Amino acid sequence: MSKIKQVLGLLNPATNRAELMRAGAATVAVAVLSFGVYAAAQQTSAVSLNVTVNTALTFTTSSNNFTTINPGTVQFATTTLVLSTNDVNGYNVTLYGGNKGTGTNNLQNGTYSIPDQTEWVPGAATTTVGNAVRQGSLTNGANVLAFRMMTASSTNGGPLISTSWWGTTDNYVDTASTLWAGISSTTVQRQIGNAGIGSYSASAHLNSVLYYLNVAPTQQTGTYTAPLTYTATGN
């Protein structure tokens, strides 16, 4: 009799419903527990940004020109070089004269010209002497056009001046510590200064070029012109 009740109980809708509910709850619990076992997949990838900064260089000049000169009386003039750059290797400056060539001088007036001092030839390095000389050793009885870099320079970064090339002082009279040379020709642009590593700044470097001029009593009258070109280049 008890066996028959058990069978009938299984066939009872109410009993079946309870059993089904218990079975469903167990299934849900298993599903929830199983979901927590798996983690989302994750990967990382790194990138590196690279950029090359080009050289920026600004260069201008301003001049204080010669006026009227009396033979036998030395006269001086200047050009100021104004330069700023971001080049960490520094910069260099070259100079040449547009009229200068084989057998021709920088200062010309038609067929007449004023003699030049021997063309500047720098040393192999800024620490090696070039062919600049003191006033007392200038050619043609010192009746020439000559130039030199002045020792005055801005304080930001290394100076453009090489004391081995141009001497240690800015005297206007003859002295062994103030050296002069002739302006080179268009075919040979020679360095007159080189400011090396660390000579860069957001503010401008100021450097002056000093010109020397004297003429003989026999020099023809008139107005003489010498076009000059300065070029600044990052190292």
139-168 pLDDT, tens digit each: 999 999 999 999 877 766 567 889 999 999
How would residue 133 be classed by pLDDT, with cut points 50, 70 and 90? very high
Which pLDDT belongs to residue 5?
47
- 61 forms beta bridges with 81
The two structure tokens encoding residue 150:
């002045």
User: What is the per-residue pLDDT for 30?
Assistant: 47
Confirm whether 33 is domain-assigned.
no
Domain span at residue 78 reads 57-234
Hey, CA dihedral for 210, 216, 222, 224, is it positive or negative?
negative
Q: How do residues 38-79 score in pLDDT, each as one tens digit? A: 678 999 999 999 999 999 999 999 999 999 999 999 999 999
Q: Hunting for tokens 């790194």 — which residue is that? A: 46
Total residues belonging to the chain? 235
Structural domains counted in the chain: 1
Domain annotation covers residue 24? no
Per-chain mean pLDDT for the chain: 86
Which has the closest alpha carbon to 228: 108, 50, 137?
A: 108
Q: Is pLDDT of 171 > 80?
A: yes
Dig out the tokens for 154 from the structure: 């801005």
Residue 2 lies in a domain: no
Is 129 domain-assigned?
Answer: yes
Positive or negative torsion for Cα 83, 85, 90, 95? negative
Higher model confidence: residue 229 or residue 84? Answer: 229
pLDDT recorded at residue 95: 97
